A and B are shown apart, each in its own frame.
Chain A
């Protein structure tokens, strides 16, 4: 059937429930799209067409038996290759975990399968989710389906969830999981004209997600639109005793409670984000967003987040510090790669294994993290960064006394070309608008706002109070309804 791959998550779920098409037909259509695009877009590290079909057959059988269908019944999705999937390689886009086959299923992926979703494959990402362009993947970067007007240069699909964004934007899957440590859901969503939400820290269990920076890592959905994100997040979220930082709170019916009427709501515009020389297209999208939210009934006011300018430096101490500790587990003993040179002792095996198994960016971050945690430097770097993090978090607390949500750009520029940013610091600076919400654990989402002058998608970011995913989604919906973003990448793959 043609046209099935253009449908979003809710449209597929409803179509299957009504019998307009079967789940198997849907899985076949997406399996074909995945196979066709794999060589050009490199969105998947592993494809699992049989898993998608098996899940679909189960849904069709459940429906035929007249039994109740799950929240995502019949929806095939892409799974970022950072989630442990039982029996299917989970590599974190690294050589050190190549061939690693988990013996268990992550909590979030299990919840999605329980809701009736099926898996199309494991999606590409920056190695261990460290990166903003997908270029640190050991399997080559995912390529954006988008191209600049009149140009064929390969563009980044963003990072770290770049396989997820490329696949959803190219309609290889109606939705995908992402994880966000400093913007890894929001920035790729913005670069590819899709929606994505990072919920409050603790909403989604981290159990079975390959750890990068544990105090920041959060899973979330990436999909065509706000309603699809809301429904998928309901299926992903929920208390998990196996994650010590999991929130023991009920999961609201976000999708049923969506409401784009913002009368009585206040939207804060952080003046520190109005940086000199901000990309003109991005600045215009931000102004459009302000007008749309006013049109939806909201009052817009100027707010201050005075420590914003220190957020990136804070992040690039804390995240590498946690990463250096988390990645100590890759030692060539329990799982993954082992490099044992002739005559090497145990210590030499560790060092050789980690040298061979980690990519350049991962090594860079482990070294920075090791340095800032080392004796004599710990207080100057790490403790100082955690204190500044407290101040950044307080800035948001103060701001949310005046406003309900905050509107800002998701990223300072549209997508850039692969290879364009060769200096690590240039890449780090692209996270400037997404990192503060991560440091404060706040829910934040990106929704498409329009196209740049060279025809690339631009995203707007909404940041909310802790636990107020609803407020974030509602403001996102208000923007979505007014932005009327319908542009799609022209198919070249």
Chain B
């Protein structure tokens, strides 16, 4: 498939388990999912391992680029970081005193607060 070759590598290698480099196993995917706070079932985990390995093996091609002396991109269009005026409620849209608007979409707002399950045993 020419388009795949254009990417610098036949990405299908990843699915054959012949990828060259690091690959993730079920335990690693379970750990990533836990870090990302996404619950996954055993079945989902099994399906995700080859999928993620396919993608990861494909992006490994970046390792072959010579980046000696190259700075990582921080701002794609040069811009200066501004400070806003140190004024309370300078912009009412993003200012304070709008508790009810802030809580309006909360799934469990109680007594003017966000409600969450008990966190202290």
Q: Which residues of A contact B (CB under 8 A)?
A: 100-104, 200-202, 215-216, 241-242, 244-245, 247-248, 275-278, 307, 309-310, 312-314, 316-317, 324, 328, 331-338, 340, 344-352, 354-355, 358, 363-364, 366-368, 370-372, 374, 377, 380-381, 383-391, 393, 412, 423-425, 428-429, 432, 439-441, 466
Contact = CB atoms under 8 A, between A and B. Distances in A.
Interface in B69-121: 70-77, 79, 81-82, 84, 91, 93-94, 98, 101-102, 104-108, 114, 116-119
B71 A354 contact: no
Chain B interface size, as a band, is 35 or more
A247 B48 CA distance: 40
Given A100-B105, A346-B117, A245 B52 contact: no
B77 A441 contact: yes
Nearest to B115: A333
B56 to A, nearest CB: 7
A367 B108 contact: no
Interface-centre pick from B1, B74, B77 (highest chain A CB count, 10 A): B77
Contact of B76 (A340, A425, A428, A440): A440
Contacts of B18: none
A78 B106 CA distance: 27
A198 to B, nearest CB: 13
Interface of B: 1-8, 11, 22, 24, 28-29, 32-40, 48, 51-52, 54-56, 58-59, 61-63, 65, 67, 70-77, 79, 81-82, 84, 91, 93-94, 98, 101-102, 104-108, 114, 116-119
A275 B36 contact: no
Nearest to A439: B76
A359 to B, nearest CB: 12
A43 B82 CA distance: 39
B73 A386 contact: yes
Given A349-B116, A364-B52, A317 B108 contact: no
Contact of B70 (A364, A370, A387, A466): A387
Nearest to A275: B6
A364 B51 contact: yes
A324 B36 CA distance: 8
Given A309-B6, A352-B39, A247 B56 contact: no
Given A352-B39, A354-B37, A355-B39, A390 B70 contact: yes
A130 to B, nearest CB: 13
Given A386-B73, A466-B77, A374 B3 contact: no
29 contacts: A100-B105, A103-B101, A201-B77, A245-B79, A276-B2, A277-B1, A313-B58, A313-B62, A328-B37, A333-B114, A336-B107, A340-B117, A354-B36, A363-B40, A366-B36, A367-B33, A367-B52, A368-B52, A371-B32, A372-B59, A380-B63, A381-B62, A387-B67, A391-B65, A391-B70, A424-B55, A425-B58, A429-B3, A429-B7
